[in-house]
Amino acid sequence: MRLLLDRLSVDPQVAPGVVADVLEACDVSFDLSSERAAFRCVLATLGKDHLVDVRLAELFRHWNPVSRDDLSIEMLVRFRELGLHRGRIDPDEAARFRERYGHRRPDLVVRLAELAGSAGESASGRRSDGDTDIAQAGRP
């Protein structure tokens, strides 16, 4: 599975819908290496076709990643930036990410910090959109 996903993530000729079809056909209970390959597929595909972006967001919406690493966080941030996920990013999680990956991914640290705590809360701090808190759920 990982080899197929790796190939899909680097082939510029693959249509976004094909990537979504393959990921939807996969069992999303990947091992860590296949999970990272799936994240690379999503990241390579996002922004090319809005309808496919929506499919991918739905596919990964309730998925609990094996690892909360730079790829999973980048996928979460991209979904948020495209308006496809409204869940809250916990500021503590953003701080932990900064400590762990700040030296390697300063761009992503800034983007994550901008999103942390900003969506889905009213002035009272209560959730207004019904989505689950990202840190609590651990899901994109």
Do 69 and 40 contact (CB within 8 A), yes or no? no
Residue 43 has a pLDDT of 95
Residue 37 to residue 28: CA distance in whole angstroms: 12
Q: pLDDT tens, position by position, for the chain (140 residues)?
A: 889 999 999 999 999 999 999 998 886 566 777 888 999 999 999 999 999 999 999 988 877 666 678 888 899 899 988 999 866 678 888 888 899 999 999 999 988 888 885 544 433 343 334 343 444 334 33
Residue 134 has a pLDDT of 40
